[in-house]
Each structure stands twice: as C-alpha cells, then as structure tokens.
Amino acid sequence: MAQVQAAPQGFVEGHVKIVFRTAAAPDDMPEREVVPESYTAYPLVILTKEGRKEVARLTADAKGNYHAALPPGDYVLDVPDQVARHIRATSRPFTVVSNQTVRVDITVFSGVYKGQA
C-alpha cells in the first residue's frame, strides 16, 4: 500500500490597520486611536482563490497582528460583510509555500467618507 504524504504547511501572518473616519473630520485632523478591543470587531477571512470558499476565520491580537498555518496554495485575505458594516478593505491575494511564511497586511477603513452621507 502506498503512503500519501501531504506537503508541509506554510504560514501567513500580517498586521491589520484600522482607520476610522467621520463625515465632519477635515483631512488634516488626526485619525482616531485604535483600542485593542477594536480588532475583535474586524474579523478576517481566508478564502480559496478560485472558489472563494472560506478556509479560515481569524481575529487579530491586541496589537493588530495575526498568524495562521495553511496548506500550500493560493488564497485571498478579506474582511467579511463590508457593505452591511459600513467598512472598506481591499482583498489581498497571496500564495502559501511549504515551510515558509508570507506576510499580508490589510487596512480596514471604518466610518463615513466624503461623498457618503
């Protein structure tokens, strides 16, 4: 009987930056500070690149960092329910290679932006 060995896992890690905006805030006004509890309000999802099927759901730690082990392959990092939650984030494609770590940072924009009301 032949043994099938799966390729060793790789890793994805990165940082979540949360940017808060308000409609009345002028462009030169400093951004609101992120408190550690804020990161739990912005979970991340890892999706397969082709089928966009959810593979993992992550929450960043108190400093905004996350880390996950994944099988080798092509994936997309995203923030779910953006329209319903009035947030914006650009999905980030990435590739995991066995025994290596890929870094993928993502920025979440929360609040009302110019042109919205």
pTM to 2 decimals?
0.79
Query: Residue 36 pLDDT > 90, yes or no?
Result: no
CATH superfamily of the domain spanning 10-111: Immunoglobulins (2.60.40.10)
- Please enumerate in sequence order all residues whose Cβ is within 8 A of that of 51, keeping only pairs 6 or more positions apart, or say none: none
Query: Residue 105 pLDDT > 90, yes or no?
Result: yes
Give the integer Cα–Cα distance in Å for 19 and 106. 11
The number of angstroms, rounded, from the C-alpha of 72 to the middle of its chain's C-alpha atoms is 18
Residue ranges of the domains in the chain?
10-111
Give the integer Cα–Cα distance in Å for 97 and 111. 36
Query: Residue 28 pLDDT > 80, yes or no?
Result: no
Query: Residue 115 pLDDT > 50, yes or no?
Result: no
pLDDT, tens only, 57-94:
999 999 999 999 999 999 999 999 888 888 899 999 99
